[in-house]
Amino acid sequence: MAEDTVAAVQALAQRAASVCVLTGAGMSAESGIATFRDAMSGLWSRFDPAELASEEGFRANPARVWAWYAERKQAVRAALPNAGHVALAEYGRRRSGVLTLVTQNVDDLHQRAGWPQTIRLHGDILADRWLQPCPSGRACEVAQALPGEPPRCADCGNLLRPGVVWFGEMLPEDAMAAAEQAARACELMLVVGTSGAVWPAAGLAAVARRAGAKVAILNPDASEIDDQAHWVLRGTAATLLPRLLDSG
């Protein structure tokens, strides 16, 4: 990795009036959280991903899907933010009004590192929601669900499901609109720890570049959107972000 590339990204990060950062699974992997595919190891390796991450799969076997997500939730709660999470939060606080942080991750590590305003494109694994709208039109509290695997509404039997975006579902409109706006408005976009294979999030780099931003991709391995980058830095988030965002 050329030192002049590092210096160019670092300099722009310190003077840009608007910086958008998109993080993916590699960001959390350094904190010990398995990527989606890695989480399907062992007992779960015989299942198709759609069986564990789709409404159809959940309806077919709610208990199995609930148990898989229970394991993933446990791993998230046990994980700690790494140096990359901390560097982003410190940068955002130091340069007030500059950073917009967008994540494909469903954990809460950015928030625990000190950046609660993170835009979450794929939901929140720790925040359950009802599978379907209440047939009685009531605004039942999720916390009041009856125990079980998965818990059910005491009134209508509606199931709780993980608050993540499953295969075949649309991303939250407000979150995606905010992410696209940030990509169009930024001077610098950092794409960190993502393979670039999951759309529409992967398209944000192209949105930023078309709008005139410089794009830097930080990843240990090649991604599917490296051709959108002005700079490609091979390395991990915990290694590169503290260096690139350091004010000293």
Positions marked catalytic: 122
d(CA 228, CA 42): 36
* CA distances for 151 relative to 59, 89, 115, 141, 207, angstroms: 14, 35, 31, 12, 41
Question: Are residues 151 and 112 in contact, defined by beta-carbon separation less than 8 angstroms?
Answer: no
The 3-state DSSP class for residue 248 equals: coil
Q: Any idea what DSSP says for residue 104?
A: -
Question: Are residues 12 and 188 in contact, defined by beta-carbon separation less than 8 angstroms?
Answer: yes
d(CA 128, CA 170): 17
* CA distances for 173 relative to 54, 90, 133, 176, 177, angstroms: 19, 28, 18, 5, 6
d(CA 211, CA 184): 5
Question: Are residues 200 and 22 in contact, defined by beta-carbon separation less than 8 angstroms?
Answer: no
173 CB-near residues (< 8 Å, 6+ apart): none
